[in-house]
Chain A
Amino acid sequence: MKTFPEFIKLDVGIYIDIFVKWLLHNFNWFFDPVKEFMLWILLSVESFLLWLPWWIVILLMFLAGWRVKRLYTGILFAVLVFAIGSFGLWVDMMSTLAIVLVSVLISLIIGLPIGILMSYNDRVAVVFKPILDAMQTMPSFVYLIPAMMLFNLGKVPAVFATIIYSIPPVIRLTDLGIRSVPKEMVEAAQSFGSSYWQTLFKVQLPQSLPSIMTGVNQTTMMALAMVVIASMVGAKGLGMEVLIAINRIDIARGFNAGFSIVILAIIIDRLSQGIADRYKIPDK
């Protein structure tokens, strides 16, 4: 009597399986061009990053750090990026960066409108909240399998999985940002006869920009955290190095790649946080 009755069996996974296979059979005409298009963007970004001479990249890092924060930060960024290069991981860093950049870009393109819709309509919010929860808590390996089936091995399923994992913060914080615009301010905009679009673009979005930028920062950090896992479907980059190190039990190789990821994370975080701070509106 203590064990759960065996005759009660429910398999939800099988329906997802059927669904994915059905998608695969019937929507190849859709997934193939999407795959091609994403791959093309990815490769363009990556080859552009690799086309840049190494010293230009270091110079740009220095300038970015200096402008966004201060001189010391610029110097630190330059030294840290130089270090990744000297680990012999320059090309891997650029591959990783390309995946992160493209993922974040697509996350924003999809996430911002969804966040805005959620803030405008409580029903949309009610529908999306559990979906976002699922996206954040579902172990990423689980959706890597269908992603792989739909987009084959390589960078594209990696981007797909990265988006699923990293898109929730930008959606949530866009929603939160717009909802926390003071009511009187929105009323003021409406009282002057603003259209929905005018209210959104002239008041609500600028007011919630600090919140949205925090969301962008979070999304970027999560995308970076995803690269190791994304390497399991064959995306080259720093994650792949880690994966190889695990397979060969190679401590040195693992830490070289590990530190590189940490360095990228620190730089991206400080930069995007610095930009986010610029949009802070003191004393609402």
Chain B
Amino acid sequence: MYSMTTKLKIENLTKVFGRNPKSVMKKIRNGISKEAILKETGHTVGIYDVSLEVKKGEIFVIMGLSGSGKSTLIRCLNMLNIPTEGKIFIDGENIVEYNKVKLREFRQKKVAMVFQHFGLFTHRTILKNVEYGLEVRGIPKEERQKIATNNLLIVGLEGYENQYPRQLSGGMRQRVGLARALANDPDILLMDEPFSALDPLIRRDMQLELLDIQSKLKKTIVFITHDVNEAFKLGDRVAVMKDGVIQQIGTPEEILENPASDYISNFVQDVDKSRILQAKNIMFFPSSLVFLKDGPLVAMKEMERSGISSVFVVDNDRKLHGLVTVDDAINAVKERKPLKEILIKNYETVDPDTYIQELIPMTTSSRYPIAVLDHNDKLLGIIPRVSVLSALI
């Protein structure tokens, strides 16, 4: 039932806030709206019937505007919010059923959280903040100081050990928050809008740094944000939430290309696609190709048939050898030269994971389509210059 790669699985999770949450479950199931329930019973429906799966080692982003239930959801994952109904499986164990002792152990070892406003202990030094999780676990002083110092190094804060949070800038404070979470070496990192309180430049740095740290540590990360660009930049997969319900789950490309609702298409309108879409998303296989064993005459006919002025030349393994223009082909036919001698190489090649952002300058530096190659120089597809620009519209 659980594949090896599933780290976290949520089934039909509902959280209602109020005096007697269970009492309104029937009303919710009967389809009465959140507003009506609030008015009638004074209960707030935080999230309703959320199901999702997070794979090991992925960054799973939950995106939504304020009030969409995303913070409620992430707080269920370490039981800061106790779900009204539903199950949360982590490594196959339903954490909702944990007793106090098991829950403490789970929080101490498996998850750690990074908070929007950092949640740092202002009465403790930076080092003592990072040590906190280890201190709670009862790890001896020397060992936890060593681990904490090491984690401060990872987030680039060495030398600040004995300062207090108030002496640090916002970006640095969140680095402390991250170091504190990492110090416990959790499997799962819960990040509740960690960069929302930072100014844009610092936010960008922190995003890159998170990706950098993630590439080394390979944690499973659940990341909350209201910023589409942040969601698509960081997320391996993204869930879009609205009114306590998940509207769509998918990779950034899937959501960009097939938004499940008008709400989502509105949402993704502002996305800077050049940072999301990659060469593989917009390339296509050329309608004509010429093989190395063919002569210039075949090349000429091929170009004539497709109405193009240049064509890529590959061998039997589809390895790219060069490009032939129609003028060179005509001359070669006259002078009886083989195809090999008239190949030119001043076209751009990229790998399929290149972002469109990086393709844009290439469209101005070369007259020919961009060739997309794998690591063996096998031609996967081509991107005509016009496709780069049309993909952004």
Contact = CB atoms under 8 A, between A and B. Distances in A.
B133 to A, nearest CB: 4
B116 A188 contact: no
B78 interface: yes
Interface in B192-236: none
Nearest to A195: B104
Contact of A193 (B116, B118, B137, B166): B137
Interface in B65-82: 75, 78, 80
B26 interface: no
Interface string A179-197: 0001011011111111100
B107 A190 contact: yes
A184 B116 contact: yes
Contacts of A194: 104, 136
A190 B119 contact: no
Interface string B168-190: 00000000000010001000001
Interface in A245-283: 281-283
Contacts of B155: none
A190 B122 contact: no
Given A203-B121, A282-B166, A191 B80 contact: yes
Contact of A191 (B111, B117, B121): B111
Contacts of A209: 123
A202 B135 contact: yes
Contacts of A206: 121, 123-124
B108 interface: yes
A281 B115 contact: no
B123 A281 contact: yes
Nearest to B128: A202
A207 B80 contact: no
Interface string B113-155: 1011111111110000000110111000000000000000000
B121 A193 contact: no
Contacts, number: 75
B379 interface: no
A188 B113 contact: yes
B107 A191 contact: yes
B112 interface: yes
Contacts of B115: 184, 187-188
B347 interface: no
Contacts of B109: 193
A198 B137 CA distance: 10
A187 B190 CA distance: 13
B129 to A, nearest CB: 9
B114 to A, nearest CB: 9
A191 B113 contact: yes
B106 interface: yes
B105 interface: yes
Contacts of A193: 103-109, 133, 136-137
Given A184-B115, A202-B135, A191 B78 contact: yes
A192 B80 contact: no
A209 B108 CA distance: 27
Instruction: Tell me which of A193, A203, A206 has the highest count of chain B C-beta atoms within 10 A of its own C-beta.
Output: A193
A20 to B, nearest CB: 40
The interface centre, meaning the residue of B109, B112, B132 with most chain A CB atoms within 10 A of its CB, is: B132
Contacts of A2: none
Contacts of A198: 136
- Most B CB contacts (10 A, CB to CB) among A182, A192, A209 go to A192
B132 A202 contact: yes
A190 B133 CA distance: 10
A83 B384 CA distance: 97
A225 B81 CA distance: 47
A123 interface: no
A184 B80 CA distance: 11
Given A193-B106, A284-B122, A187 B80 contact: yes
Contacts of B107: 190-193
A188 B136 CA distance: 12
17 contacts: A184-B115, A185-B122, A187-B113, A187-B115, A187-B119, A188-B115, A190-B80, A192-B133, A193-B104, A193-B105, A193-B133, A202-B121, A202-B136, A206-B123, A281-B122, A282-B166, A283-B166
Interface of B: 75, 78, 80, 103-109, 111-113, 115-124, 132-133, 135-137, 166, 180, 184, 190
Task: Give 4 nearest A-B pairs by CB, closest first.
Answer: A193-B107, A193-B108, A188-B119, A184-B119
Given A192-B107, A198-B136, 6 more contacts: A187-B113, A188-B121, A190-B80, A190-B107, A191-B111, A193-B108
